[in-house]
Each structure stands twice: as C-alpha cells, then as structure tokens.
Amino acid sequence: MFMRYDRHILFDKIGDKGQEKLKKSKVTIIGLGGLGSSVSLYLVGAGVGEIRIIDNDKIDIHNLQRQILYTEGDIGKFKADVAEKRLSKTNKKVKIIKFREKFDGKNNAVLEGVDLVIDCTDNLKSRFLMNKICFEKNIPIVHGAVVADYGWISFIKPGETACLKCIIPEKAKPTSSSEIGILNSAPGVIGTIQATEAIKYLAGFGENLKNILLFVELSNNRFNKIKIKPNCEICSSHL
Ligand SMILES: [Zn+2]
C-alpha cells in the first residue's frame, strides 16, 4: 500500500500513522453531484478505507459541465452506479458501498458506524434530516454548499460546535443551481476544501472549521471566516 501513498507518507503531517488512520476510516458522502464528485475522487485517492455513496439521480447532459465523475457515455445511468465504477478504477483497495436511493434517514446502513459524513446534498430537507440523525448518532459532518460563484464550508461536531440549524435558518429560501446557475469550477473549489477538512480530521492533523463558516466568493477572490455559535435546540441538548 505504501508505494501508492508515498507522497502522503513523505508529508510530515500525515506520515505512516496518518495514512494508517485514513485506511481505517469510514465515510459517507451524501449526494453525488458537483460537490460529491470532487469529494469522492479525492477521498478515494487518499485511501480512506470505506466510502459509502448515496444518490438516486440519473446523469443528465447539463451535469457534465461540473460533475467530473461522469462522461458523455454515462448519460441516463444512475450516478451511484457510475460513481462506484469510476471510484474503484482509481483505487480498488477502497471499499465502495453504493446506495442508489434518496437519503431519507430510514436506511440504517447508510450512516451506521461511519466516522464522518460529508454533506454534498443539494436540498435543505435532506440537510436538516442529516443534521438531526448525525446529532443522534454522534457523527461529525463536513457541511458544504455552493451556487452561482459562491459557497461555504463548516465542520460540525455534535456536542462541540454549532450545527446546520444554527448556520441555516429552517425557513431559508433555498437557492439552487437550477434557478440561478453555477460557475462550473465552484463545486470543485468547495468540494476540495470539504475533502481537505475530512482528510485532516481522519488523519489527525491541522485545524478544522469548527464554529467557523468559511465563506468563499470566487468572482472577487474573497475567503471570509465567519464565527458561528451553537444557538438552536438541537445544539443546546448536546452541549
Ligand atoms: Zn444548532
């Protein structure tokens, strides 16, 4: 295994120990669109031991602008099926478990026993459900969202940080790329920061975006760190 990860092992903040930790880690990625594409490709390359992927969408031609897991020949196929094959091609040592279904919190196998959940969904309903279940199961979340030319990332840890409900008001009007469009590289930027948050947490180095919302505006190169505090009923019952 160590030839493949030689450049991580040479990197002093990861080394043999960090790489071993990545191998022992289990992660669930919810959503296989633009964010899920870049997150999954980097985590499979990093050698995370088990990656569970969940999405019930099929690939459409307008996805190819930014969803880098897929190619023209994949149009009409399920994202979960294509992603599983594509990710295994990069690293067959990683156990990929696919769920060709919508995340509704009912299938225990999606989240049971994972070390981390990566939020790559595109709707508030799934995000709030994921937030609630992860707090019940005590699973940290790397939250990411992106639209147009901006997005944000935060690291959520039950009992330690503000949760998604503290970040996004439940009555927020969802804005989506199907309404206002999206710069194709934007999910690449936000997704790779999410993957980096995950790798740091799993390998045990650096700092995570705890109680911080990193807000990224790409048109003017603004990266702002906004402090957030636990302030909702879910958080107050866990702190
Ligand atoms: Zn909260």
Kindly report, residue by residue over 61-86, the tens digit of the pLDDT.
999 999 999 999 999 999 999 999 99
Interval 18-38 mean pLDDT: 98
Q: How far is the CA of 5 from the centre of ligand 1 (A)?
A: 37
Q: Which residue has the tokens 């330690």?
A: 160
Is the separation of the CB atoms in 227 and 212 below 8 Å?
yes
CB 144 within 8 A of CB 191: yes
Q: In whole angstroms, what is the distance from residue 210 CA to residue 162 CA?
A: 8
State in Å: Cα 233 to ligand 1 middle: 6
Average pLDDT, the chain: 95
**CB-based contacts of 133, cutoff 8 Å, min separation 6:** 105, 111
Q: Give the domain ranges of the chain.
A: 6-236
CB environment 63-82: b (16+ within 10 A), e (fewer)? bbebbbbbeeebeeebbbeb
Distance 79 CA to ligand 1 centre (A): 31
Max CA distance (Å), the chain: 50
Question: Can you tell me whether residue 43 is helix, strand or coil?
Answer: helix
- Percent of the chain whose pLDDT exceeds 90: 90
Please tell me the distance from the alpha carbon of residue 206 to that of residue 117, in angstroms, as a whole number.
Answer: 19
Regarding pTM above 0.85, the answer is yes
- pLDDT at residue number 28: 98
Tell me which CATH code domain 6-236 carries.
Answer: 3.40.50.720
140 Cα: distance to centroid of ligand 1 (angstroms): 13
Indicate the pairing of strand 212-217 with strand 116-119.
Answer: unpaired
Ligand 1 center to 188 CA (angstroms): 27
Q: Which of 1-5, 16-20, 103-107, 155-159 has the lowest mean pLDDT?
A: 1-5
